[in-house]
Amino acid sequence: MTLQEKIGQMTQAERVAIDGDRDQITTLGLGSVLSGGGSVPADNTPKGWADMVDAYQSKALATRLKIPLLYGIDSVHGHNNLIGATIFPHNLAMGATRDPALVREEQQITAIETKATGPQWVFAPCVCVVRDLRWGRTYESYGEDPGLVIEMETGIEGFQGRHKRDLSSPRHVLATAKHYAGDGDTVFGSSTTGTFTIDQGVTVTDRRTFGRIDLAPYVTAVRKYGVGSIMPSFSSVDWKEDGVGNPVRMSASKELLTDVLKRKIGFDGFLISDWAAIQQIPGDYATQVRTSVNAGMDMFMEPHTAPQFTRTLLAEVQAGRVETARVDDAVRRILKAKFELGLFENPYTDRRYAGTIGSPEHRAVARRAVAESQVLLKNSGQALPLAADEEIYVAGVNADDIGNQAGGWTVTWQGSSGDIIPGTTILDGIRQNSSNVTYSADASAPMAGHDAGIVVIGERPYAEGLGDVGNGHTLNLPDADKANIDRVCGAIRTCVVLDVAGRPQIVTDRLPAMDAFVMSWLPGSEGAGVADVLFGKRPFTGRLPVTWPRSEDQEPINIGDRTYKPLFPYAHGLRTGARTH
């Protein structure tokens, strides 16, 4: 390979940047193309996706060496960019299930639905350990305890299969453990990215604590599951051992990328930078490129600056500031993944499973995941389960908004409210179980004569640092939700409150008015799974994967803290039996 061809393999561009001139794939010899959140073909169907990816692939195969393209996508809770895909609960909900086999099955389905449309590589799972609920990516974590996160890493096996040979099948994709490391453990107020408060901030810690909490899931991802790629975090680390105040960006840390991850832990896959992440490293662009390559980064997600990246790295190598051996190491790692995926033999999309996308069988697994993730936090007087013959009053916008219940990373990066994907809302599920249902979003309809009231509260969609508390968000309930609780719980004999949100919210002052309180998380496309436990078709078995605070200013609070007085402790979750009639 020529030096230019090697550098091309290390370069990843966003599809929008090359779609108007797809010959860039050939002229730059790009190793990879990605779809960011919401970056979709004009025909957002399985065929539209596969046709697009194959068209890009044909341009890669027009290069001298015919090295196939690796296409990456954020399939973080299903093939979530594709309308009609099965959308699973977000990771925090899956942590509540305590069911590693279910997580494996979920990611297996996600792999099948994704690969049938072209992409062979997913930027998932997030194996971050969330230590502060004010983080806008809280729902992307499986929980606050590294032990729980490690348990849920069966998802890597769901993506990749049990053996390396499985990667080449149409049922598996290359997985990415992210975001290495400490992204869920940054200090509130430490972020310097725009108006973010905690996302992409600084993890202030000592190496021993970092190893125990933040690094531990990556040891498992590498040594037990052989994860094929790892994405270093936007965040920085500031070691206490040498005095606080000199943080190093993860993309620039040779200690953590090369010495720890590749040499000590033994990672033999490749590192992919996050979205233009190297551009947050101090210095000019040449310094940023040189620093990150020399630190151990292998492939560079430079969404809109791929040509500039290739020119810059070429100049750095020619000037002797980046050794050819480092480039060779990166390219070997990337080509190894392409060979293991069988792309040289079968570069184009295998569409045989396209008909299973969003199938009843796949949706049934998602519905079971929703049911298993529900956490019953309070149940006075056996308010739950409900009986189908009761007159039921339902209030709250989130009861009948599939966009809100799916959350961020759904069709678009930030997600959106409204009827954005096919599936069932929570209200749909309730109506499947009872014909005696009144729905009033603002609790303005008359309540007399109803046996039970269900108030659905929660958040609206957001993703990443745009969801940080202090960046337009709070853990406190909106006034409309408080008003709905007050109206319904004050007027109806049995009052059940469901929280549809990406993280615990502050309910301390309203909890006494509730007979039952359920954390429903972000359930995805199969809201009927919530009703399955409300009416006793399935038992409540979920347990909190994070500690539930009494107030926003109690954050960060985590199991093991010296002073630990939460509203609900980590692993709390009441159980009910399923109805037998």
Would you state the pLDDT for residue 525? 98
98 and 32 within one domain: yes
Pair 69, 32: CB distance under 8 Å: yes
Within a domain: residue 152? yes
Q: Are residues 421 and 346 in the same domain?
A: no
Are both 381 and 267 inside the same structural domain?
Answer: no
Decide which of 328, 355, 382 is a domain's last residue. 355
Distances (CA, A) of 425 to 24, 335, 525: 43, 44, 7
Q: What is the pLDDT of residue 358?
A: 98
Determine, yes or no, domain membership for 367: no
- Helix-helix angle 324-340:306-318, to 10 degrees: 130
Does 577 reside within a domain?
no
Nearest one of 398, 432, 412 to 519, comparing CA atoms: 398
Residue 146 and residue 19 in one domain: yes
pTM: 0.98
Residue 573 covered by a domain? no
Q: Is 396 a domain residue? A: yes
Residue 452 counted as domain residue: yes
Predicted pLDDT at 581: 36
List phi, psi (to 5°) of 76. -95, -20
Residues 380, 347 share a domain: no
Angle between helices 306-318 and 285-295 (to 10 degrees): 70
**Residue of 462, 507, 477 whose CA lies nearest to 396:** 477
Looking at the structure, tell me whether residues 253 and 395 fall in a common domain: no
Domain CATH number, residue 531: 3.40.50.1700
Residues 521 and 388 in one domain: yes
Verify that 179 and 221 share a domain, yes or no.
yes
Q: How many domains does the chain have?
A: 2
Q: What is the rounded distance in angstroms from the CA atom of residue 304 to the CA atom of residue 301? A: 9
Q: Which residue numbers are catalytic?
A: 274, 464
Predicted pLDDT of residue 578: 52
Q: What pLDDT does 577 receive?
A: 66
Do you find a cis peptide bond into 179, omega within 30 degrees of 0?
yes
- Report yes or no on 387 lying in a domain: yes
Q: What is the pLDDT of residue 511?
A: 98
CATH number of the domain bearing residue 266: 3.20.20.300
pLDDT (tens, 9 = 90+) of the chain, 581 residues, equals 999 999 999 999 999 999 999 999 999 999 999 999 999 999 999 999 999 999 999 999 999 999 999 999 999 999 999 999 999 999 999 999 999 999 999 999 999 999 999 999 999 999 999 999 999 999 999 999 999 999 999 999 999 999 999 999 999 999 999 999 999 999 999 999 999 999 999 999 999 999 999 999 999 999 999 999 999 999 999 999 999 999 999 999 999 999 999 999 999 999 999 999 999 999 999 999 999 999 999 999 999 999 999 999 999 999 999 999 999 999 999 999 999 999 999 999 999 999 999 999 999 999 999 999 999 999 999 999 999 999 999 999 999 999 999 999 999 999 999 999 999 999 999 999 999 999 999 999 999 999 999 999 999 999 999 999 999 999 999 999 999 999 999 999 999 999 999 999 999 999 999 999 999 999 999 999 999 999 999 999 999 999 999 999 999 999 999 999 999 999 999 998 655 43
Does the CA dihedral 133-135-139-145 come out positive or negative?
negative
> At a CB cut-off of 8 Å and minimum separation 6, what does 316 contact?
286, 289, 290, 293, 322
Residues 325 and 443 in one domain: no
Question: Which residue range is the domain that position 405 belongs to?
Answer: 374-554
Residues 71 and 123 in one domain: yes
Domain C-terminal end among 355, 389, 413: 355
From CA 184, how far away is CA 131, in angstroms rounded?
Answer: 6
| Residue where a domain stops, chosen among 295, 321, 355 | 355
Asked if residue 72 and residue 192 are part of one domain, the reply reads yes
Same domain, 101 and 192: yes
Residue 48, classified by CB atoms within 10 Å of its CB into exposed (0-12), middle (13-18) or buried (19+), is middle
> Does residue 572 fall inside a structural domain?
no
β-bridge pairing 300-301 and 11-14:
parallel
